[in-house]
Structure 1
Amino acid sequence: MNCLLLDTATEACSVALQIQGQALTRFEICPQQHSQRILPMVDEVLKEGRAVLNQLDFLGFGQGPGSFTGVRIATGILQGLALGSELPVVGVSTLAAMAQQAIVTQDAQEVYCAIDARMGEVYFAHYIAQDGLAILQGAEQVLPPESAIELMTTNNPVVGVGTGWAAYPHMQPQHNFSMATAILYPNAEFMLPLAHALFAQGKVSNAELVQPVYLRDTVTWKKLPGRE
C-alpha cells in the first residue's frame, strides 16, 4: 500500500511517504513553524519518490493528542490534500506513534507515553507490543502526573517516551523503568505500520469527517460553534 502521513501535533513536524516498498521521511523540531514547513516537506518526499498523490492508496495524519494549534494544522492540511486527491484518510494517535518507535527501535514490549500537556497535566497512555504493533491498554487520557503514577501498576520492564517525564520528574517509577530519551515527539515514520493496520481494518474516513483528538475536548472543542 502506498500512503503519505504527516504530523504537526507537537514541537516536531514530520512527513512519511511509503511508495513502491520504500519509505521516505522528514523530521524536524521547529516550534511555531509547522504551517510554513509541512507542505514543503510533503513536496520534498513526493519529489524524492517521484510520486503524485493520485498514486497513493490513502493519506494519514497524527490526529493528536498534542497542542491545539498543531493538531488543527495537521487536520486542515490533511483535509485539503484528501479533498483534492479524493483519497481516504486514516487518523493515527500521536501517543501510539511514540510507543511504536520504542517498539521498533528499542525492542520495547511495554511502553508508557507522556506528553507535557501544560496546565499541570500530561497526555498519557499505556501500550504493549503485539505482533510488532503498539496496542493501547485502557484509554488515552489527559490527567495530572500524580494520577498517571497511580496507573503505572505493571511489574514488567517498561519504557517511557515523551516530554512529560522531564517536565514532571517525580512521575518516573523506580522499578523496571527506563527512559527512551531520544523519543520525545511523535514521528510520522513510525505511524506507517499503525496506519497500514488501521487501513486494513477499514478504519478510514472521508476528508469531511476527519476529527482531531484533543482529549481536553470538554473545555475546548465542544465550545466551538455548532459543537456544544
Structure 2
Amino acid sequence: MTNILAVECTHEVLSVALMCRGRKLERRGGGWQKTAESIVPLMDEVVSAGGIAPRELDAVAVSSGPGSFTALRIGMSAVKGVAFALDVPLLSVPTLPALAASLPADVSGDRVMAVVGSRKGEYFYALYRRDDLEAFRWHDEVSRGGVEDVAAALQDCAGKVVAVGRNLEPLRTVLDAGGVAGVNADFFSAASLFDFAIRAYAEPCRTGAGEVEPDYRQSFGSGGA
C-alpha cells in the first residue's frame, strides 16, 4: 500500500491529506495568507493521525498551480523540504486538471471549465473533456484573462459545459448567459490530488524534487497573492 502525503495550497484554503493503509485523512487550515505558519503543523498532524512515522511515506504530492504566488512559493518550499529530508519522490499535480476532475460524477456535462482566480478581476482557466480526465489525458493550454475572455471561451465550446471553481459569483452573469452551470468547488482539496499522484508515482521516470517548480503563469508585485 502506497503512503502519500498531499498538499493543496494554490488558492484560498490550505489543505493537507494523507493516504495510508487504505484510508484517507485530511486537515484544513486557514486562507493562503496563513500558509507559512500552518503548513508544517498540518503535515505533522495528519501524519500523526494516520498512525505512521514520516519515514513510512512513499511520496509527497503537491498541486503545482497556477494559483496564489505567495502560497505556491511557500507550499512548494515546504514539500520540497519534506521530500529531500525523507528522500522520497515529489509528485507535481497541475491544479486545473485536478480541479476539473474533482467535479462530482453526478454533475452532468461533457466538458469542464476549471477556473482559478488570478488578480485584479482576472482568472486562470482551461477546458477539459471529462473522458480525457478520466483517462488522465489533458492538454496544458491554460489561459488567463478577464470576464470577457472567459465568456468568449465558453461561446466557442460545443456540447454541455460546466464551470467549476471557488468564488464564481463574479462570473455568474456570463455563465447564466451561456447556459453554463457554475459549481462552487468547496470539495476541491489535497485529497483531490491522490488519483493523479498515484498515477505519477507509477511512472518509471519521475521528475526529481529539485526540478519541480510552481506554475506561476504570471509575475506578481511584492505582497501580491
Shorter-chain TM range is 0.7 to 0.9
Match of 2:181 in 1: 178
Match of 1:100 in 2: 101
Match of 2:194 in 1: 192
Aligned residue type for 2:160: P
Aligned residue type for 2:174: M
How far does residue 104 in structure 1 lie from its aligned partner after superposition?
4.7
- Secondary structure of the 1:195 match is helix
The answer as to whether partners of 2:163 and 2:181 remain within 8 angstroms in 1 is yes
How far does residue 185 in structure 1 lie from its aligned partner after superposition?
7.7
How far does residue 115 in structure 1 lie from its aligned partner after superposition?
1.5
Match of 1:113 in 2: 114
How far does residue 31 in structure 1 lie from its aligned partner after superposition?
4.0
The answer as to whether partners of 1:10 and 1:186 remain within 8 angstroms in 2 is no
Match of 1:70 in 2: 71
Match of 1:30 in 2: 31
Please point out which of 152, 155, 161 is paired with 2:158.
Answer: 155
- Tell me whether 51-60 or 61-70 shows the greater mean CA deviation: 51-60
- Secondary structure of the 1:33 match is helix
Match of 1:56 in 2: 57
How far does residue 18 in structure 1 lie from its aligned partner after superposition?
0.8
Aligned residue type for 1:177: V
Match of 2:206 in 1: 204
- Tell me whether 90-99 or 62-71 shows the greater mean CA deviation: 90-99
Match of 1:225 in 2: none
CA distance in 2, matches of 1:104, 1:4: 25
Aligned alpha-carbon RMSD (Å): 2.5
CA distance in 2, matches of 1:15, 1:133: 25
Identity of aligned residues (%): 24
How far does residue 21 in structure 1 lie from its aligned partner after superposition?
1.4
CA distance in 2, matches of 1:84, 1:14: 21
The answer as to whether partners of 2:147 and 2:171 remain within 8 angstroms in 1 is yes
Match of 2:81 in 1: 80
**What TM-score comes out, normalization by structure 1 length?**
0.84
The answer as to whether partners of 2:114 and 2:127 remain within 8 angstroms in 1 is yes
Q: Aligned pairs, how many?
A: 218
- Tell me whether 25-34 or 45-54 shows the greater mean CA deviation: 25-34
- Secondary structure of the 2:141 match is strand
Q: Where in structure 2 are there 5+ consecutive unaligned residues?
A: none
The answer as to whether partners of 1:109 and 1:128 remain within 8 angstroms in 2 is yes
Match of 2:143 in 1: 141
> 1:208 and 1:148, CA in 2 relative to 1: closer, same or farther beyond 3 A?
same
